[in-house]
């Protein structure tokens, strides 16, 4: 059994919905479908969820919301008409929205209930369309599916009892279409997840029904092995492990929120990222383990905007608790750090520049000087980080040599190196100015063969 999630661009229009239906029909294992709300059809379009937020704000304000309502209905009407469906589903969908508006009492509940209408309407339409196309299909409301969540409007957390209830969906024979993005509290109130929450629904449903595969359809063929704004038309990654995906997320690589993946990760369910517009492309598989592990580099993540906090103190390594106290000062100031490579008498802490403004910098430096009695503390900004990613990579003799040579070849000095025993990544810290040419050189060394 496969759980298949379609993102906003995959359900943005009637023509996209036809592709979705065709993808579902092409594989009898695609039994549970999770949908987002219709996204942008072109760069100037507005996402349905944003139209719904606009509508909710007007309802809450008590201002005239008729135009806002029309715009939402129009989005769905375009799809229904394009799919040559009769008007029943549109009427039902409209009625649902008006019911929410008319029962408005508490702002946060109305906001959540209206926002959810995007996914809910899409699921209604898709289920009906699949039926018209001759499939046995059913719309399944998250309440019926058993998605029980905490009562935190706009940031619901899935409660553990959902898993057992979702497992019951395996007993059903039809294709089940579930709207993403929301669940119901124990009191029966509709509550939404944080934005992008359809991925949470997809992952929790995949975990709950113990799917053999969780397919996540979006608008890219696969994950690139390197940032395509630095290297032109880079290679795709076919198979990634969860750990590798996390390491690559350093560079904003992630196609979806990695928090959303936790339920699937915990059940070790493989995930496949595929393209609705090119479903025959193999996509990128994300798996718990790769059996044919070669110990190769699978991707290069890179990002700038880092700073290094450097602290030096004679006999530092004899001082029990020094590192802990340094990190405590950062934690007190709500600064999270990325890495902390160290020598005998010094420690460098790598921090995203966005974490530390000048005010915090002065405070942290003063505290380190006073509380840790160091010999020297300094901060260097404009640093960039490059991560070579690949499970088992560090078992392969020669990879670090090949990497350092790639830096040398383009005259980029390695300021910091950090490689734990995780065997998943090797981090290089450099001055930001050398970032692009270092990444290009590494790509050439590891991929352009």
Residues that bind its own copies (CB under 8 A): 242-243, 246-247, 249-250, 258-259, 262, 265, 308, 310, 312, 314-315, 317-318, 320-321, 323-324, 327-328, 330-331, 334, 336-348, 380, 387, 394-398, 400-401, 403-405, 407-408, 411-422, 424-427, 429
Nearer to its own copies, 174 or 409 (CB): 409
Shortest distance, position 305 Cβ to its own copies, whole Å:
15
Shortest distance, position 273 Cβ to its own copies, whole Å:
18
Nearer to its own copies, 366 or 417 (CB): 417
Hey, is 380 helix, strand or coil? strand
Shortest distance, position 397 Cβ to its own copies, whole Å:
5
Contact 51, 163 (CB under 8 A): no
DSSP tag of 355: G
Among 155, 410, 436, residue whose Cα is nearest residue 302: 436
Shortest distance, position 179 Cβ to its own copies, whole Å:
26
Shortest distance, position 338 Cβ to its own copies, whole Å:
7
| Integer Cα distance of 200 and 265 in angstroms | 12
Q: Which residues is 352 bridged to in the sheet?
A: 306
Shortest distance, position 183 Cβ to its own copies, whole Å:
21
Query: What CA dihedral angle connects 437, 438, 439 and 445, to 10 degrees?
Result: 110
Shortest distance, position 393 Cβ to its own copies, whole Å:
11
Nearer to its own copies, 152 or 258 (CB): 258
List of residues 6+ apart from 95 with CB closer than 8 A: none
| Integer Cα distance of 341 and 348 in angstroms | 6
| Integer Cα distance of 161 and 149 in angstroms | 9
Nearer to its own copies, 277 or 342 (CB): 342
Nearer to its own copies, 293 or 396 (CB): 396
Q: Which residues is 139 bridged to in the sheet?
A: 177
Nearer to its own copies, 11 or 403 (CB): 403
Instruction: Give the CA count within 13 Å in the CB-facing half-sphere of 137.
Output: 25
Q: Which residues is 387 bridged to in the sheet?
A: 301, 427
Shortest distance, position 391 Cβ to its own copies, whole Å:
11
Among 66, 16, 70, 35, residue whose Cα is nearest residue 277: 16
Distances from the Cα of 312 to the Cαs of 315, 368, 409, 431, in angstroms?
9, 11, 31, 21
E strands within 187-248? 190-192, 213-218, 223-224, 236-237, 239-241
Nearer to its own copies, 220 or 335 (CB): 335
Nearer to its own copies, 53 or 327 (CB): 327
Shortest distance, position 43 Cβ to its own copies, whole Å:
31
Nearer to its own copies, 154 or 392 (CB): 392
Distances from the Cα of 349 to the Cαs of 78, 324, 372, in angstroms?
54, 12, 15
């Amino acid at each position: 059994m496969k759980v298949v999630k379609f993102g906003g661009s995959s359900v943005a229009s009637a023509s996209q919905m036809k592709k979705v239906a065709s993808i579902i029909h092409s594989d009898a294992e695609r039994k549970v479908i999770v949908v987002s709300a219709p996204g942008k059809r072109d760069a100037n379009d507005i996402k349905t969820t944003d139209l719904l937020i606009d509508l909710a704000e007007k309802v809450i304000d008590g201002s005239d919301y008729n135009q806002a309502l029309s715009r939402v209905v129009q989005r769905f009407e375009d799809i229904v008409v394009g799919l040559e469906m009769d008007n029943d589903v549109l009427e039902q969908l409209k009625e649902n929205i008006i019911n929410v508006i008319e029962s408005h009492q508490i702002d946060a509940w109305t906001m959540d209930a209206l926002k959810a209408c995007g996914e809910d309407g899409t699921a209604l339409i898709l289920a009906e369309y699949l039926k018209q196309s001759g499939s046995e299909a059913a719309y399944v409301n998250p309440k019926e599916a058993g998605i029980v969540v905490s009562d935190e409007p706009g940031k619901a957390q899935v409660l553990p009892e959902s898993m057992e209830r979702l497992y019951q969906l395996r007993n059903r024979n039809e294709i089940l279409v579930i709207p993403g993005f929301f669940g119901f509290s124990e009191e029966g109130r509709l509550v939404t997840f944080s934005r992008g929450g359809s991925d949470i629904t997809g992952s929790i449903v995949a975990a709950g029904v113990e799917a053999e595969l969780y397919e996540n359809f979006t608008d890219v063929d696969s994950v690139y092995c390197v940032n395509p704004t630095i290297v032109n038309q880079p290679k795709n990654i076919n198979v990634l492990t969860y750990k590798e995906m996390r390491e690559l997320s350093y560079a904003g690589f992630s196609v979806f929120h990695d928090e959303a993946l936790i339920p699937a990760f915990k059940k070790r369910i493989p995930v496949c990222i595929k393209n609705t517009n090119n479903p025959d492309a193999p996509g990128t598989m994300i798996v718990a383990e790769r059996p044919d592990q070669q110990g190769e580099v699978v991707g290069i993540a890179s990002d700038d905007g880092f700073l290094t906090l450097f602290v030096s103190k004679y006999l530092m390594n004899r001082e029990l608790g020094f590192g802990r106290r340094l990190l405590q000062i950062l934690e007190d100031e709500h600064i999270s750090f990325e890495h902390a490579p160290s020598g005998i008498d010094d420690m460098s802490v790598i921090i995203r520049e966005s974490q530390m403004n000048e005010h915090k910098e002065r405070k942290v430096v003063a505290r380190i000087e006073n509380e840790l009695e160091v010999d020297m503390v300094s901060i260097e900004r404009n640093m960039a980080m490059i991560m070579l990613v690949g499970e088992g990579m560090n078992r392969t003799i020669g990879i670090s040599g090949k990497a350092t040579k790639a830096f040398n070849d383009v005259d980029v000095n390695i300021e910091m190196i950090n490689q734990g025993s995780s065997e998943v990544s090797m981090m290089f810290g450099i001055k930001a100015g050398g970032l692009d040419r270092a990444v290009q050189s590494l790509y050439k060394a590891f991929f352009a063969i």
